[in-house]
Structure 1
Amino acid sequence: MLDHGRALLRSCCLALPLLAAAALAAPVQADPSGTDAATRLLSVTQGEGRAQRVTVHSGAMRADMGLTVFPARDPDAPAPVLYLLNGSAGGIDGSSWTDHADLAGFFAGEQVTVVVPDGGEGSYFTDWRADDPALGRQRWTTFLTAELPALIDAEFDGTGADAVAGISMAAASVFQLAVAAPGRYRAVGSYSGCVRTSDPVGQAMVAAVVARWRGNPVNMWGPFTDPAWAANDAYLQAEKLRGATLYVSSGSGAPGRFDTVEELDGNPGKLADQITLGGALEAITARCTHQLRDRLRQLDIPATFDFRPTGTHSWKYWEQDLHNSWPLFRAALNR
């Protein structure tokens, strides 16, 4: 995660002037193509421990999509579903929930199906308006809100009650998904993210994340002047979040309980990166999270905010955020 964070900060410093010029001027070609074969379940195989590897074909993405699924405590009884989205690296190179959180152990006694999709690096898990030369076809909103839930519910006896949570890049995406499909998720968890995406600072952050994976943000939501940026900004569209259980967290960027050599396998280099780069990134998300709190207060939309006095942009804190938010999610999923 820190390697990706270093690249993101470098992109912010070096690539944004060029990206801004491109995003203001580059033409966007609408993609008129539809889907190919119908979305369908392809395979379910046993993974390690309780995990199952699932492959589905997405008609919208025109691709076979991989997932890791942890079935509910009683797989023969109906269960709600919790979707966990990865950060800007999309779960590659050891950057997934399945690599850094004990999902099998923590949820072993819970009647909930946990789903972790593969991929999505630099995509913001949204529907891109045009295929990208580097990132290809990205139709994540359609896949996650319209295609995948029906397949998961059919295969794992879902109740139709869903929650979604994400880290870093996906901490913005989870709100965008909830805005795009009001009522789809009973609960939303956002850990260390910047939800506001259409103001100049937000656009700079989005462009840097996309550029890290050699994508062009113009292919996502058009030039920076395009109304699609505001339409996908959950800060501006927050009214559509009303009724969902919301949990939002961020550290301050100052070193905390998990920022020690012992937590990082005795590697002082990793610790230095986590404190400097992870601290800088988390300080940014703290500012964003305070802005979102103020916005929801203005609209009188209930939400739980957890502002940790310390903590960097790193996995141990996100695992703890998941644990802290789960009681709220459980109540929302079972109400």
Structure 2
Amino acid sequence: MRIRIKWTAGRRLVAQAFVVLATTVATLGPPVSVSAADAPPALPLLPNPHSFGITVTGWSDVDPTVPLDKRRLVNLKLRTEAIYPGVSRPEIQVRILLPAHYDQTAARRYPVLYLLHGGLGKWDDWSNNGVKELVTGVAAFTGLVVMPEGGSTGYYTDWTGHADGGHSPQWETFHIRQLLPWVDANFRTDATRTGRSIAGLSMGGFGALKYAGRHPDLFSAVGSFSGATNMRYADGTHDAPATFSQHMQWSGAAIREVNFLDLATRVNLYENGWPVQDEQRQEDYRFQAVFGSPTNWPHVNPYDMAARYAAYQGRIALYSGGQQGGETDIYAYNNQFRAQLTARQVAFHWCVGDGTHSWEYWQRDLTDFLNLVYGTPIACHYTS
């Protein structure tokens, strides 16, 4: 009898639950259908997400409400041994601007612009400063824009030394040997030299010139916006090694939003447990921690690689402000590089004048560069 009472009580509870559920459904009404037009567009499929040394850990829309007939920002999170070796390595991020109608034109192949951020910057700098609107404004460019993380002061280089904590990032390996073929394997790109261009601002301008000089087989156009063009340039006033040394002292191998405040990412020469006070020795140590011994510098320095830019047949563009607004050194570097290109009979696009080291000018630089490479070249936007 006791078992029967429990079973009866159980049936009563189940019946009451069904009544509550039915009442709730009746109150809510019939299911609401979402039309295809109202639903957020699906993310493009990644056919080869874990390839070329990259492991994808996140793939998302920056704004899921953007329709497929508009340019669309997406965000990639990944891990790679090239930047952080080990099991607990943190994520690296890449932002990608997709063309309009990308998912609706299955047979089409698109050109790719690799766009690099500056020193103390990060992967979303360009997208936070109007890249979508700028690229949309140049109708002749219909391709993808890939904006990768490059480290706060990673200098787009495979470090030969290490930071205080032992970290030795391999940025060139990540960008050139991993990310570039990964993009071609996962998107409908024109995976040829003709289909690729590269540009960047400040440190990213140096990186774009460096990659283009070292890999002319991979890119067909290069743009440097306020970029350093000679890492060895020093005349007592414009001292590239001293500026570089300061970067290594304060940010080194750090990545913003990952480990920027971690002192282990700084680069210093120590003796008996204390930083060496001789500034020249620190400068030399920091420089070689990133670029290696002086015998290696001609292989990574744009000024020394000037003759290689002849392969771009005039599609190398240099942008710089003048003697103000943080551009004094940049102007000197670019003016020297211009003379070197001219001496090597290398054709180039030159845009220099009264600009400052600021987004207002880098945005205009990008528009000018896209028109130069993909559309109709326009007049230089600087005032002199």
Which of 344, 358, 376 does residue 299 from structure 1 map onto? 344
For 2:53, the equivalent position in structure 1 comes to: 38
For 1:25, the equivalent position in structure 2 comes to: none
Structure 1: 5+ residue stretches without partners: 1-36, 255-278
Q: Which amino acid aligns with 2:94?
A: L
Q: 1:119 to 1:181 in 2, by over 3 A?
A: closer
Which of 164, 177, 183 does residue 152 from structure 1 map onto? 183
SS where residue 111 of structure 2 aligns?
A: strand
CA contact (8 A) 2:196 2:221 kept: yes
SS where residue 242 of structure 1 aligns?
A: helix
Q: Which amino acid aligns with 1:55?
A: K
Once the two structures are superposed, the pairs formed by residues 88-103 of structure 1 within 5 Å of their partners are 88-91=119-122, 96-100=125-129, 102-103=130-131
Q: 1:111 to 1:74 in 2, by over 3 A?
A: farther
Structure 2: 5+ residue stretches without partners: 1-51, 67-71, 252-265, 268-285, 377-384
CA contact (8 A) 2:318 2:351 kept: yes
CA contact (8 A) 2:53 2:178 kept: no
For 2:382, the equivalent position in structure 1 comes to: none
Once the two structures are superposed, the pairs formed by residues 123-142 of structure 1 within 5 Å of their partners are 123-133=154-164, 136-142=167-173
Any idea what the Cα deviations from partners look like across 1:258-283, whole Å, max 9, x if unmatched?
Answer: xxxxxxxxxxxxxxxxxxxxx1x211
Once the two structures are superposed, the pairs formed by residues 1-335 of structure 1 within 5 Å of their partners are 38-48=53-63, 49=66, 50-61=72-83, 62=85, 64-75=91-102, 76=105, 77-91=108-122, 96-100=125-129, 102-108=130-136, 109=139, 110-133=141-164, 136-160=167-191, 161-200=195-234, 201-213=239-251, 214-215=266-267, 216-222=286-292, 226-244=294-312, 245-254=315-324, 279=325, 281-308=326-353, 310-330=354-374
SS where residue 56 of structure 1 aligns?
A: strand
1:103 Cα deviation (Å)?
1.7
Give, in whole Å, the separation in 2 of the partners of 1:174 and 1:151: 19
1:42 Cα deviation (Å)?
4.0
Bigger-Rg structure (1/2): 2
For 2:30, the equivalent position in structure 1 comes to: none
SS where residue 118 of structure 2 aligns?
A: coil
Q: 1:154 to 1:331 in 2, by over 3 A?
A: farther
1:228 Cα deviation (Å)?
1.9
CA contact (8 A) 1:164 1:188 kept: yes
Structure 1 segments (4+ residues) deviating >4 Å: none
Give, in whole Å, the separation in 1 of the partners of 2:133 and 2:356: 24
Stretch deviating more after TM superposition (123-132 or 205-214): 205-214
What TM-score comes out, normalization by structure 1 length?
0.73
Structure possessing the higher relative contact order (Cα contacts under 8 Å, 6 or more residues apart): 1
SS where residue 68 of structure 1 aligns?
A: strand
Give, in whole Å, the separation in 2 of the partners of 1:331 and 1:153: 23
Any idea what the Cα deviations from partners look like across 1:132-160, whole Å, max 9, x if unmatched?
Answer: 23683311111111111111122221112
Give, in whole Å, the separation in 2 of the partners of 1:324 and 1:85: 16
SS where residue 197 of structure 2 aligns?
A: strand
Q: 1:301 to 1:74 in 2, by over 3 A?
A: farther
1:222 Cα deviation (Å)?
3.2
Give, in whole Å, the separation in 2 of the partners of 1:328 and 1:208: 35
Stretch deviating more after TM superposition (115-124 or 316-325): 115-124
What TM-score comes out, normalization by structure 2 length?
0.64
1:301 Cα deviation (Å)?
0.7
Count of aligned positions: 266
Give, in whole Å, the separation in 1 of the partners of 2:337 and 2:93: 32
Q: 1:131 to 1:70 in 2, by over 3 A?
A: same
Any idea what the Cα deviations from partners look like across 1:56-80, whole Å, max 9, x if unmatched?
Answer: 3334223542111111223132111
Give, in whole Å, the separation in 1 of the partners of 2:160 and 2:352: 35
Stretch deviating more after TM superposition (233-242 or 108-117): 108-117
Q: Which amino acid aligns with 2:125?
A: S
